[in-house]
Amino acid sequence: MKINNFRAEGRTIEKYFGYAAISVCMLIISLLFTACPGTTPSANPDNGSASNGEKPEKPSGYDAASGIGSVQGVNFVMKPIAAVTNASIGHSAEKNNPPRWVNLTAYQISETEVTQELWQEVMGNNPSGFKGSKNPPAAGEVQMKRPVEMITWFECIAFCNELTKKTNRGASTTCVYYSDAAFTTVYTKGDAGAEKLPYADWSKKGFRLPTEAEWEWAAMAGKDDAWAGTIILSELKDYAWLSDTGANKKTHEVKKKKPNAYGLYDMTGNVIEWCWDWYWSNMESYDKQDPTGKETGINRVRRGGSWFQDASKATRMFRFSDKPNSKYDNIGFRIACRS
């Protein structure tokens, strides 16, 4: 199926579809964030309520050593990916993703796709199509732990900066994205709404979108599997929510399937994931060291397949693309950062 055809079908789909409690261990860690560097203390800790009658603040922060973060009590986890030299990505079966060597600096990537609850706490809204009485979660699943979707690439960029600030006492000094090439003005939600192109300061350790190379290497998890977690088609149902593995035309709560060898969930299926790079089909001039793609383009890269695709369009080497202002109910994202 060509990319253009997929996009058209995605628009048609849009017309029709618009954990279990937190473990004690995770809760304790979350509450300890008030003692971690770069975190926000709880409001009025004496009685657990804010003095102005508003909802009391919960722990917010990020501990890079453990990879555990929280925004107002909504937790997320980052998994470490070691630096690699001469890593082989791509595949001879994909003409626009041929085998090639890359070197990647150590980074972290979120173990799940960004959930609706994390987006809500960071951005103050939930734009997802899969919510409400018309699009309820599957039996036994938690609505707000489904991946967020109906978001543009620009909005993902703004989210990354907002998450960086919320886990760093509001400071923007580690933000990756800027609205100017001199890296003086941090990219904002307003910039995203205006569809302003961002500039990335790759030296910063704030949250960001993974590059396409980082995404694929993380999905592979050091193996040459066709899908994230397995090379055996009959096992794919244990790892991925796809149209032919029981997704049933909807998104699902994250972490319901098996993770790959790096501990990452839903790298195949559930929602397709935005990456940083502009899409281009000619990889002959591909940078070997921490490639970030070309400087300009029309479409941005998306990877991983979703509830809408079947297994053939959800391999770890299959590439999608779309205009950065596109939003569908089968496109989401996960975050990354420098280690």
pLDDT digits (tens, 9 = 90+) for 63-111: 999 999 999 999 999 999 999 999 999 999 898 899 999 999 999 999 9
Beta-carbon count within 10 A of 286 CB: 18
**In Å, how far are 50, 199, 272, 279 from 250, measured between CA atoms?**
39, 34, 13, 27
What pTM did the predictor assign?
Answer: 0.84
Number of CB atoms found within 10 A of residue 1's CB: 10
- Name the band, by pLDDT with cuts 50, 70 and 90, for residue 56: low
Nearest Cα to Cα of residue 107 among 201, 239, 202, 39:
202
Partners of residue 300 on adjacent β-strands: 278, 322
Tell me what pLDDT residue 287 has.
82
d(CA 301, CA 150) in angstroms, rounded, equals: 16
- Closest-CA residue to 57 (of 65, 49, 67): 49
Query: Contact at 8 Å (CB) between 130 and 146?
Result: yes
pLDDT at 17 exceeding the cut of 50: no
Of these ranges, 11-15, 48-52, 92-96, 111-115, the one predicted with the greatest mean pLDDT is: 111-115
Task: Determine how many CB atoms are found less than 10 A away from the CB of residue 237.
Answer: 18
Contact between residue 276 and residue 211 where contact means Cβ atoms under 8 Å apart: yes
Tens-place pLDDT, residues 204-246: 999 999 999 999 999 999 999 999 999 999 999 999 999 999 9
Q: Are 89 and 310 in contact (CB under 8 A)?
A: no
Binning pLDDT at 50, 70 and 90, where does residue 54 land? Answer: low
As a whole number, the mean pLDDT across the chain is: 87
Is residue 50 pLDDT above 60, yes or no?
Answer: no
Structural domains of the chain ordered from first start: 3-18+109-338 (3.90.1580.10)
pLDDT, average across residues 280-294: 84
> 272-278 and 199-200 as β-strands: parallel, antiparallel, unpaired?
unpaired
